[in-house]
């Protein structure tokens, strides 16, 4: 089984995000960049499928400038087989990102594309679904469990939805997007890091990757949200409940 | 005149608040609002949709193939009605369902999509929180057709005082799903739903275990008639299921009262609850960031404070 895992380079989720004064973007000085946490879960799941099935190949793809090699190398060090970087010097939107991924899917013919449910920078939560629609493939978003039939032709996915867990199944090829509880991603081992240096990392210029020039969705301006003022500190539980009762009138 | 198609969700024969909020957002986008109801045996839901203020017509597609929600056939059906109605904008609530199928509708319509918006500006641009709610982005959709999902706390829900007509439509004969519904394991709870609750009591890593959620936090949740939530840290630690998660990667809530117990207040959690009317924080660390957004902060060991609070609330309620 060939598994394609698209990943994105994003600011470390622990980073304090600061909007540039002119609202054109976020300040990137001293910001550490990592693999988007949901993408990391997707890599881990693909590796586990490979370990269970034996004959799978895990291919990573990222879109961005040369620094994204860093995240691809990390994924290779975790155990992925090879990587593709579509070198882009401009920002794409989910639709153009999807066009690039669809081109790579056409070239690589994977049976499964495993993505994070959303990236923690743009928080759009669109790419997996857009790709599924473009390819007319079935999809299972927000996966918390992924299982294959004995002949590996069908995948059954438990999804974290409102009010409970839903399980759906479909024949491959298909798209799965990962939620938080699917797995706990491994750390790259030292031998893994050494091996990763020798693994293939192919670069493709954006111009050859099939993306439209125009964006469907554009971000015009960024501002920090309004700050909520801290209120009062109470000393005892009695005081708290009394205030909720008489002042806030909520109990 | 432009036309907006709003997808109306339903569970157990009821339209959730999130869909009434989506209708309200459609009112701000402007144009005639057509509500879409998909499913099997949906007459009652269609009637509820017809009552939502601002809706001029409901289109109901009642079909065996739509009995269970599946992303591909639901987007096919939505696209079919959007085309038949000549809608230029499709709007859905940013729920598990809306997030799942709206991008597929956008892709098929050639529409740009803005996810989980919180405001509509006069010039037609929209506002959406990004970077876990640390940044608000003004976003412009450049395409003629548009798809939008709406954050469930961002607009006052449309009132249920209207009376639009209900029209039935047939699903195209060749519409089919490549996906198979297997089962739905519903979280059984007599408590209110997180997204709709007036009061939410959430626990964090400070609770230390799943057992403590049951033994320490739940009595407070139930005494207050609240919904139970949790921080991502508590979900990550395996204390509670992910559908309780409040935060940018979980559910966004804005109840009248939010009680954060043993939650330090990471950005991503604050993004999910800071629009609550009144916030109470109980934490033993006086420097916890949660106190910077709370209206009432109590620095205390939750294992002492929470049982005391149960007693105190019971006393006030019985007085």
Contact A133 B97 (CB under 8 A): no
For chain B, what percent of residues have pLDDT higher than 90? Answer: 90
Average pLDDT over residues A63-79: 98
Looking at the domain assignment, is residue A39 inside a domain?
Answer: yes
CATH of the domain at A226: 3.40.50.620
DSSP string, chain B: --EEEEEEP-BTTB--HHHHHHHHHHHHH-SEEEEEEEESS-HHHHHHHHHSTTEEEEEEEE-GGGSS--HHHHHHHHHHHHHHHT-SEEEEESSHHHHHHHHHHHHHHT-EEEEEE-EE-TTS-EEEEEGGGTEEEEEEE-SSSEEEEE-TTSSPPPPS----EEEE-PPPTT---SEEEEEEEE---SSPPTTT-SEEEEE-GGG-SHHHIIIIIHHHHHHTTPEEEE-HHHHHTTSS-GGGBBSTTSB----SEEEEES----HHHHHHHTT-SEEEEEES-TT-GGGGT-SEEEES-HHHHHHHHHHHHHHHHH-
Give all strands (DSSP E) within A33-150, no chain letters: 33-35, 57-64, 82-87, 112-116, 139-148
- Which pLDDT value is given to residue B139? 98
* Tens digits of residue pLDDT in B178-216: 999 999 999 878 899 898 899 999 999 999 999 999 999
Chain B positions touching A126 (Cβ under 8 A) are: 103, 106, 113, 115
Residues 6+ apart with CB under 8 A from B216: B207, B302, B303, B306, B307
Looking at the domain assignment, is residue A54 inside a domain?
Answer: yes
The secondary structure element, H or E, covering residue A168 is strand A164-171
- A146 falls in which pLDDT band (50, 70, 90)? very high
Tokens 């409940």, residue located: A241
**Helix axis angle, B96-109 to A94-108, nearest 10°:** 80
Per-residue exposure over A148-180, b if at least 16 CB sit within 10 Å of its own CB, e if not: beeebeebbbbbbbbbbbbbbbbebbbbbbbbb
- Which pLDDT value is given to residue A230? 84
Interior CA angle at B224 toward A249 and B190, to 5°?
A: 135
Chain A positions touching B134 (Cβ under 8 A) are: 17, 224-225
- Which pLDDT value is given to residue B242? 86
Q: Cα separation of A15 and A103, whole Å?
A: 33
Select from A11, A19, A168 the Cβ nearest to the Cβ of B181.
A168
Q: Is there a contact between B15 and B8 (Cβ–Cβ < 8 Å)?
A: yes
| A249 in contact with B, Cβ within 8 Å | no
Per-residue exposure over B189-219, b if at least 16 CB sit within 10 Å of its own CB, e if not: eebbbbbebebbbbbbbbbbeeebbeebbbb
How far the first Cα of chain A sits from its last, in Å, is 57
Q: Is there a contact between A40 and A184 (Cβ–Cβ < 8 Å)?
A: no
Query: What tokens does B209 get?
Result: 């275990």
Looking at the domain assignment, is residue A251 inside a domain?
Answer: no
The secondary structure element, H or E, covering residue A46 is helix A37-53
- Which pLDDT value is given to residue B249? 80
Task: Name the CA dihedral angle for A11, A14, A19, A25, rounded to a multiple of 10 degrees.
Answer: 10
Select from B140, B179, B294 the Cβ nearest to the Cβ of A170.
B179
Query: What tokens does B98 get?
Result: 């809306």
A20: exposed, middle or buried (Cβ count in 10 Å: 0-12, 13-18, 19+):
exposed
Q: Is there a contact between B229 and B252 (Cβ–Cβ < 8 Å)?
A: no
Contact B182 A156 (CB under 8 A): yes
Three-state DSSP class for A5?
strand
Which of B276, B295, B317, B319 is most worth mutating to test chain A (most A CB atoms within 10 A of its CB)? B295
CA distance A162 to chain B (A): 6
Closest CA to B201 of B281, B259, B255, B269: B259
Looking at the domain assignment, is residue A98 inside a domain?
Answer: yes
Q: Does B132 score more than 90 pLDDT?
A: no
- Which pLDDT value is given to residue A166? 97
* Tens digits of residue pLDDT in B62-108: 999 999 999 999 999 999 999 999 999 999 999 999 999 999 999 99
Contact A139 B179 (CB under 8 A): yes
Q: How far is CA A148 from CA A49, A50, A158, A168, B143, in A?
A: 9, 12, 12, 12, 39
Average pLDDT, chain A: 96
Average pLDDT over residues A43-55: 96
Q: Does B112 score more than 90 pLDDT?
A: yes
Tokens 């992303």, residue located: B71
Looking at the domain assignment, is residue A211 inside a domain?
Answer: yes
Looking at the domain assignment, is residue A167 inside a domain?
Answer: yes
Q: Cα separation of B17 and B192, whole Å?
A: 12
* Tens digits of residue pLDDT in B10-49: 999 999 999 999 999 999 999 999 999 999 999 999 999 9
* Tens digits of residue pLDDT in B150-166: 999 999 999 999 999 99
- B292 falls in which pLDDT band (50, 70, 90)? very high
Query: What tokens does B280 get?
Result: 């109470």
Chain B positions touching A130 (Cβ under 8 A) are: 103-104, 106-107
Chain A positions touching B182 (Cβ under 8 A) are: 156, 167-169
Q: Which domain holds residue A128?
A: 2-246
Q: Does B271 score more than 90 pLDDT?
A: no
Contact B104 A98 (CB under 8 A): no
Chain A positions touching B235 (Cβ under 8 A) are: 180-181
Q: Is there a contact between B164 and B8 (Cβ–Cβ < 8 Å)?
A: no
Task: Name the CA dihedral angle for B42, B193, B254, B198, rounded to a multiple of 10 degrees.
Answer: 110
For chain A, what percent of residues have pLDDT higher than 70? Answer: 100
Average pLDDT, chain B: 96
Task: Name the CA dihedral angle for B155, B157, B162, B163, rounded to a multiple of 10 degrees.
Answer: 110
Select from A132, A168, A224 the Cβ nearest to the Cβ of B180.
A168
Q: Does B267 score more than 90 pLDDT?
A: no
Name all domains of chain B by residue range, CATH numbers in brackets. Answer: 3-168 (3.40.50.620), 199-318 (3.40.50.1220)
- Which pLDDT value is given to residue B74? 98
Select from B75, B180, B293 the Cβ nearest to the Cβ of A230.
B293
- A45 falls in which pLDDT band (50, 70, 90)? very high
Nearest CA in chain A to B191: A163
Looking at the domain assignment, is residue A61 inside a domain?
Answer: yes
Contact B243 A162 (CB under 8 A): yes
Give the phi and the psi of residue A207 in degrees, each rounded to 5: -60, -25
Strand order of the sheet with strand B3-8? Answer: B112-117, B146-150, B89-93, B3-8, B32-39, B55-62, B165-168
3-state helix, strand, coil in chain A (%, to 5): 30, 30, 40
Q: Is there a contact between B264 and B289 (Cβ–Cβ < 8 Å)?
A: yes
Q: Does B241 score more than 90 pLDDT?
A: no
Chain B positions touching A223 (Cβ under 8 A) are: 135-136, 138
* Tens digits of residue pLDDT in A204-246: 999 999 899 999 999 999 999 988 888 899 999 999 999 999 9
A190: exposed, middle or buried (Cβ count in 10 Å: 0-12, 13-18, 19+):
exposed
What is the number of structural domains in chain A? 1
Q: Does B1 score more than 80 pLDDT?
A: no
Closest CA to B26 of B92, B116, B110, B108: B92
Contact B186 A141 (CB under 8 A): no
* Tens digits of residue pLDDT in A104-139: 999 999 999 999 999 999 999 999 999 999 999 999
Tokens 């956008």, residue located: B106
Give the phi and the psi of residue B102 in degrees, each rounded to 5: -60, -40
């Amino acid at each position: 089984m060939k598994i394609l895992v698209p990943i994105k380079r994003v600011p470390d989720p622990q980073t304090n995000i600061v909007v540039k004064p002119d609202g054109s973007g976020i300040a990137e000085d001293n910001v550490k960049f990592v693999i988007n946490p949901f993408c990391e879960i997707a890599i881990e799941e693909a590796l586990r499928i490979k370990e269970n099935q034996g004959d799978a190949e895990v291919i990573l793809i990222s879109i961005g400038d040369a620094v994204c090699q860093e995240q691809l190398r990390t994924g290779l060090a975790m155990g992925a087989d090879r990587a593709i970087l579509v070198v882009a010097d401009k920002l794409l939107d989910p639709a153009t990102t999807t066009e690039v991924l669809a081109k790579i899917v056409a070239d690589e013919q994977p049976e499964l594309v495993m993505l994070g449910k959303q990236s923690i920078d743009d928080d759009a939560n669109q790419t997996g679904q857009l790709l599924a629609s473009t390819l007319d493939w079935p999809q299972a978003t927000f996966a918390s469990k992924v299982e294959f039939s004995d002949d590996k032709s069908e995948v059954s996915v438990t999804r974290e939805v409102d009010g409970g867990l839903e399980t759906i199944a479909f024949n491959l090829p298909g798209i799965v997007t990962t939620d938080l509880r699917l797995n706990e991603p491994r750390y790259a081992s030292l031998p893994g890091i050494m091996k990763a240096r020798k693994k293939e990392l192919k670069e493709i210029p954006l111009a050859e990757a099939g993306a439209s020039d125009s964006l469907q969705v554009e971000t015009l301006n960024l501002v920090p949200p309004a700050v909520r003022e801290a209120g009062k500190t109470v000393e005892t539980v009695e005081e708290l409940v009394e205030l909720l009762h008489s002042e806030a009138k909520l109990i | 005149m432009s036309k907006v198609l709003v997808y109306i969700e339903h569970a157990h024969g009821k339209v959730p608040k999130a869909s009434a909020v989506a209708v309200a957002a459609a009112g701000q986008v402007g144009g005639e609002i057509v509500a879409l109801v998909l499913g099997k045996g949906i007459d009652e839901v269609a009637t509820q949709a017809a009552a939502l203020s601002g809706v001029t017509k409901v289109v109901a597609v009642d079909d065996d193939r739509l009995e269970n929600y599946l992303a591909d056939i639901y987007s096919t059906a939505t696209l079919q009605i959007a085309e038949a109605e000549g809608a230029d904008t499709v709007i859905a609530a940013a729920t598990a369902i809306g997030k799942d199928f709206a991008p597929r509708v956008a892709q098929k319509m050639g529409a740009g999509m803005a996810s989980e918006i919180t405001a509509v500006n006069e010039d037609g641009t929209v506002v959406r929180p990004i970077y876990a709610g640390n940044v608000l982005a003004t976003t412009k959709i450049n395409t003629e057709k548009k798809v939008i999902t709406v954050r469930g706390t961002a607009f006052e829900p449309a009132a249920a005082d209207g009376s639009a007509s209900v029209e039935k439509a047939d699903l195209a004969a060749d519409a089919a799903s490549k996906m198979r519904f297997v089962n739905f394991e519903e979280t059984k709870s007599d408590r209110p739903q997180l997204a709709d609750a007036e009061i939410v009591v959430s626990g964090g890593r400070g609770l230390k275990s799943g057992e403590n959620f049951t033994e320490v936090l739940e009595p407070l949740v139930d005494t207050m008639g609240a919904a139970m939530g949790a921080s991502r840290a508590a979900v990550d630690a395996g204390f509670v299921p992910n559908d309780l998660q409040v935060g940018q990667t979980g559910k966004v809530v804005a109840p009248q009262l939010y009680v954060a117990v043993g939650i330090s207040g990471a950005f991503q959690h604050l993004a999910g609850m800071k629009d609550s009317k009144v916030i109470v924080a109980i934490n033993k660390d006086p420097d916890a960031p949660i106190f910077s957004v709370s209206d009432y902060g109590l620095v205390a060991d939750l294992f002492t404070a929470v049982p005391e609070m149960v007693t105190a609330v019971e006393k006030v309620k019985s007085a």
